Homo-oligomer: A and B are copies of this chain.
Amino acid sequence: MNIGQASKTTGVSERMIRHYERVGLMPPPDRRDNGYRDYSPQSIERLRFIANARGLGFSLEEITTLLGLWDNRERTSSEVKAVALAHADDLGRKAAALEAMRRALLELAEGCSGDSRPDCPILDGIAVS
């Protein structure tokens, strides 16, 4: 399967497929006589794994770890779970941080008349806080 087809069936851009290869997430695929990359069903499966992991917010570095575990029959599920829970924790902290910003901002905005006058507690709040 050519890279264009691989991209279409996995939703991963050609750019990123090549990138994953460069950084070692994807093994170098077979090449046709003309030099074109040729992807096996296994490669497509791996690509999908990466795409799904990205969709869960894992970094490429974390995905390297996950793929290592995926490939390793000697893995323990506790290793996998530890990675997953650590990432879930990370997501939780980041979401909470964004929510805190949002609440602070809405609190400032609450006092703002939002009309044609220049007085604005939002600007005041940012200036002094």
Contacts and interface: CB of A to CB of B under 8 A. Distances in A.
For this chain, the copies found in one complex come to 2
A78 interface: yes
Contacts of A119: 77
Given A74-B118, A123-B70, A105 B88 contact: yes
Interface in A69-83: 69-70, 73-78, 80-82
Contacts of A120: 69, 75, 77, 80-81
B98 A91 contact: yes
Query: Range of interface residues on chain A?
Result: 35 or more
B84 A108 contact: yes
A53 B126 contact: yes
Contacts of A99: 91-92, 95
Interface stretch (A9-17, A24-32, A33-41, A44-52): A44-52
Given A76-B117, A118-B77, A66 B123 contact: yes
Nearest to A73: B118
B91 A109 contact: no
A61 B77 CA distance: 45
A126 B52 contact: yes
A88 B112 contact: no
A2 interface: no
